[in-house]
């Protein structure tokens, strides 16, 4: 039984790394969590000396490290969007609106087309549930975004 479970944990580790490479951090985190559950189950079946050796094995350390890395990346990714769901680029546009720049000036500064700036503003207005630039800046200010 231990051999099969060990192979399952190892396979889940490979799958987690593949998901990480593909950018599916949530899937990778769930996969690593399954692998770590198996590792915990296996280590609980061992006496204390063997448990320490098992936990120090390259496969277990690799899964632990990859899992920690993915968890950090998921947290970082989540922090890149605020509670209202604004992307980094939308926050950037909103900060320039707060500085009083026109759409054309924002487009020039960010090397975007004016139509792209308009699209970002429409998205910002929808996410913040506002209808004007002033209201968007006010909402962003209250949320500490600008």
CATH of 88-142, one of 3.30.1280.10, 3.30.300.30, 2.130.10.10, 1.10.10.10: 1.10.10.10
pTM of the model: 0.48
- In whole angstroms, give the CA distance from residue 89 to residue 93: 6
Secondary structure class of 82 (helix, strand, coil): coil
Contact predicate 81/87, CB 8 Å:
yes
pLDDT band of residue 2 (cuts 50, 70, 90) is very low
Residue ranges covered by each domain of the chain: 2-79, 88-142
Average pLDDT over every residue of 125-133: 91
User: What letter does residue 113 receive in the DSSP assignment?
Assistant: -
Topology at the third CATH level for domain 2-79: Methane Monooxygenase Hydroxylase; Chain G, domain 1 (1.20.58)
- Per-residue model confidence (pLDDT) at position 104: 95
Angle at 87 between CA 74 and CA 145, to 5 degrees: 105
- In whole angstroms, give the CA distance from residue 27 to residue 109: 37
Instruction: State both tokens at 37.
Output: 């559950």
Using one digit for the tens of pLDDT, what is the confidence trace for 102-118?
A: 999 999 999 989 999 99
- Per-residue model confidence (pLDDT) at position 72: 60
pLDDT band of residue 80 (cuts 50, 70, 90) is very low
- In whole angstroms, give the CA distance from residue 60 to residue 38: 10
């Amino acid at each position: 039984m231990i051999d099969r479970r060990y192979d399952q944990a190892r396979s889940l580790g490979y799958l987690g790394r593949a998901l990480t490479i593909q950018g599916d951090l949530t899937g990778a985190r769930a996969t690593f969590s399954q692998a770590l559950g198996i590792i915990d189950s296996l280590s609980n079946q061992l006496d204390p000396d063997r448990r320490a050796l098992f936990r120090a094995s390259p496969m277990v350390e690799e899964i632990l490290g990859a899992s920690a890395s993915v968890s950090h990346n998921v947290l970082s990714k989540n922090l890149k969007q605020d509670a209202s769901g604004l992307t980094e680029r939308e926050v950037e546009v909103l900060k320039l609106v707060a500085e009083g720049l026109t759409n054309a000036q924002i487009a020039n500064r960010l090397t975007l087309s004016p139509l792209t700036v308009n699209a970002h503003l429409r998205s910002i207005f929808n996410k913040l549930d506002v209808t004007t630039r002033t209201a968007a800046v006010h909402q962003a200010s209250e949320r500490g975004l600008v």
